[in-house]
Amino acid sequence: MISVSHSQFFPKVGDRVETIDTPAVVVDLDLVDANVSKLFALFKAKKKAVRPHLKTVKCPEFAQMFLSAGAIGVCVAKVSEAEVLAAAGIEDILITTEIAGDLKIKRFINLLRNHPKVKIVVDNIEAAKALDAEAQSARVKPSVLIELNVGQNRCGVEPGDPALRLAQSIGKLDSLELVGVQGYEGHLQHVHDRKERERLCREAINKLVDTVKLLEQNGISIKIVTTGGTGTSEFCSEFAAVTEVQPGSFAFMDVDYRNAIGTSYANALTIVSTVISKPAPNRVVIDAGLKSLSTDSGNAEVQGMKGIAYTPGGDEHGILQIDSASIPLKIGDRVHMIPSHIDTTINLHDFYICHRKGILERIWNISARGKVQ
């Protein structure tokens, strides 16, 4: 069987972006470099560590780029993502989502045998006990962080006494080492008004730092206090007790984030697509539908073309429409689409086509795409 990725139709380093097949994920490395430099300079000045969340990029090569820029480690959302990154040589990985169930716990503990710096969050004693039991039989010592509910009302033990009780119970287990606390204010990342986002973020992070203080007053040492996304990390980093921030979307950005926080980080990634049909003067159809561009945060935008609206026309089709007269696109033309939500869009694709000034420089596998376990 001929693999398309090795066929004559697969792009090569040195090709021009205009020549690659579509739909494809196109990354402007100059813009990513600028985003990465800007973010790391900001937190260096604030003397805060950065542990970027890789649920956006899902790719070891981008992880290495962040580590070279000064990241102390990385976050992932799932055990299966951690497996991909650990296999690629990345050791300090925080899994930011709770796990449950025998098989998943065995899978996590198995990862620790060769990668002891992988850490995970817990928010309940049942999971902590199950982790502890498996860790004892495998003779490993997992580092865990308590996840706190700072207002997102997703996972996370409540701040204050419930968190203290959980920490004390974890302290009685033989194999788990409690190393930190995570609070992620995901509900605030896209609050449009900057002042309001900052005010709400301060409220949320006060819950985190007050709880850290309470744990420490009770003799529990907390080394890591981690929180923050692209929309809030800068506010979180104002708190002395916060040791690190975990933004992810800043590397590529998307329409949803740009609408919320502006253009301080550049839009560095597009899905290039081809016009395959022009059934009416004011409507064309492109080859990027729901399987190429996610819609959970609204619709993608056409880069550089105002007044043209995109709607998915099904799994494989996208419709571009203009209210007035004629749409300035013909069959075979290519458009660059800016995803509305970068994380869910990336999970649909196999490769990053990375270029500088239109010339392909790197083709990277999105190795952790589909890794949702």
Ligand X SMILES: Cc1ncc(COP(=O)(O)O)c(C=O)c1O
Interacting residues toward ligand X by CB under 6 A: 53, 55-56, 75, 96, 184, 186, 189, 229-230, 246-249
Integer Cα distance of 185 and 231 in angstroms: 10
**Least distance from C-beta 229 to ligand X, angstroms?**
3
Nearer to ligand X, 75 or 255 (CB): 75
Nearer to ligand X, 52 or 60 (CB): 52
Nearer to ligand X, 178 or 253 (CB): 253
**Least distance from C-beta 265 to ligand X, angstroms?**
10
3-state SS of the chain?
CCCHHHCCCCCCCCCEHHHCCCCEEEEEHHHHHHHHHHHHHHHHHCCCEECCECCCCCCHHHHHHHHHCCCCCEEECCHHHHHHHHHCCCCCEEECCCCCCHHHHHHHHHHHHHCCCCEEEECCHHHHHHHHHHHHHHCCCCEEEEEECCCCCCCCECCCHHHHHHHHHHHCCCCCEEEEEEECCHHHCCCCCHHHHHHHHHHHHHHHHHHHHHHHHCCCCCCEEEECCCCCHHHHCCCCCCCEECCCHHHCCCHHHHHHHCCCCCCCEEEEEEEEEEEECCEEEECCCCCCCCCECECCEECCCCCEEEEECCCCCEEEEECCCCCCCCCCCEEEEECCCHHHHHCCCCEEEEEECCEEEEEEECCCCCCCC
CA angle 56, 61, 62 (to 5 degrees): 40
**Least distance from C-beta 371 to ligand X, angstroms?**
15
Nearer to ligand X, 158 or 333 (CB): 158
Integer Cα distance of 67 and 370 in angstroms: 23
Integer Cα distance of 294 and 332 in angstroms: 23
Nearer to ligand X, 56 or 367 (CB): 56
Nearer to ligand X, 108 or 184 (CB): 184
Nearer to ligand X, 170 or 245 (CB): 245
**Least distance from C-beta 346 to ligand X, angstroms?**
11
**Least distance from C-beta 345 to ligand X, angstroms?**
13
Nearer to ligand X, 96 or 273 (CB): 96
**Least distance from C-beta 309 to ligand X, angstroms?**
25
**Least distance from C-beta 200 to ligand X, angstroms?**
15
Nearer to ligand X, 249 or 273 (CB): 249
Of all residues in the shown chain, the one whose CB is closest to ligand X is 229
**Least distance from C-beta 50 to ligand X, angstroms?**
11
**Shortest CA distance to 230 belongs to which of 45, 30, 29, 57?**
57
**Least distance from C-beta 152 to ligand X, angstroms?**
9
**Least distance from C-beta 208 to ligand X, angstroms?**
13
Phi, psi of 267 (to 5 degrees): -75, 110
Nearer to ligand X, 248 or 289 (CB): 248
